[in-house]
Amino acid sequence: MTTTRVTSTSVEGTRTPIPSPTGTRKRKRSRVELTYYLFLIPSLLVFTAFVVVPAVIGIFYSFTDYVGYGDWSFLGLRNYQALFTDPTILGSYGFTLGFAVVTVIVAQVIALALAIGLSRRIRFAIPLRGIFVIPMVISGIVVAYVFNYLFSNSLPALATSVGFTPLEQSILGDPNLAWISIVIVSAWQTIPGALLVYTAGLAAIPGDVYEASSLDGASTWKQFTSITVPLIAGFIVINTVLGIKGYLGAYDVIVGLTGGGPGNATSSVAMTIFGGFTGGDYAYQMANATVFFIVTVLISIIQLVATRGRTVRL
């Protein structure tokens, strides 16, 4: 903002009666040119109409017994109370949180490992990076359908041919194992984005830092923990926060793999909420959605606060 101030004083210094494009200290009370409002208002209007108004309406209905049409009356907090004793809802939160935490760890570890690998003296670095990024451009539901076939047909066929009994049945049909397939496909799909972020972060670390430390006799692992990780901590935070937020809203991949089953074993919060539109418990699921929003925001804040100040700059 310093440049702004310097320029506007120079404008005033020459006493040109042209309005400065930015508000300056002297002109703080001056009116902002109308054009700027015309630039801003479309976004605010559309955003309010399509996101904020629905959100407010939804939260309002969460205090009623509305079923999606017709009459309704106030219930107070009864929907919310019911949520906390509903095994389906609690199950979906348990599954979604567990799945999000496991997937974010799996995806970030692999993405970071690949990014470090690609930054070393290897051949074919560009084509390899090109291949690793491909999953990013493919639709999640289609990927899930492809993996669905692999998990339910190819894997059991393979297990049978080598005589490995535990995998002869499809893991998609096993309430205790189905979640693994969702972790694998979600990670497969989201690793590229994280990989590119880490690649950018690693490229910003000057090579002589590593040279100096290796002269001092630091091992590769020591370099990783004492140089690489602290210097890309900011990227790890942003990847983890955005990753968790994405996994919490998981839907497409689950629909394509298990459809939430077997039973409700892999039913995410998003899936139970959408059930509210067909199941006639609109208001109840809006209470669920409201709680889900609060949980999402809280998790993001906790992550940001817990990791604040961990970033090191050269």
The CB-of-169 to other proteins minimum distance in angstroms stands at: 13
User: Which residue, 32 or 312, is less far from other proteins as judged by CB?
Assistant: 32
The CB-of-128 to other proteins minimum distance in angstroms stands at: 5
User: Which residue, 135 or 179, is less far from other proteins as judged by CB?
Assistant: 135
User: Which residue, 21 or 175, is less far from other proteins as judged by CB?
Assistant: 21
The CB-of-304 to other proteins minimum distance in angstroms stands at: 11
The CB-of-8 to other proteins minimum distance in angstroms stands at: 9
| Cα torsion angle, 60, 63, 67, 72, sign | negative
User: Which residue, 98 or 117, is less far from other proteins as judged by CB?
Assistant: 117
Inter-residue contact 205 to 234 (CB < 8 Å): no
Q: Is 312 helix (H, G, I), strand (E, B) or coil?
A: coil
CA nearest neighbour of 219 among 210, 206, 209, 208 = 210
The CB-of-220 to other proteins minimum distance in angstroms stands at: 12
User: Which residue, 171 or 252, is less far from other proteins as judged by CB?
Assistant: 252
For residue 262, say if its preceding peptide bond is cis, omega within 30 degrees of 0.
Answer: yes
Tokens standing for residue 174: 């096993």
DSSP secondary structure, 34-63, as one string: HHHHHHHHHHHHHHIIIIIHHHHHHHHHTT
Inter-residue contact 116 to 202 (CB < 8 Å): yes
Tokens standing for residue 302: 């906790």
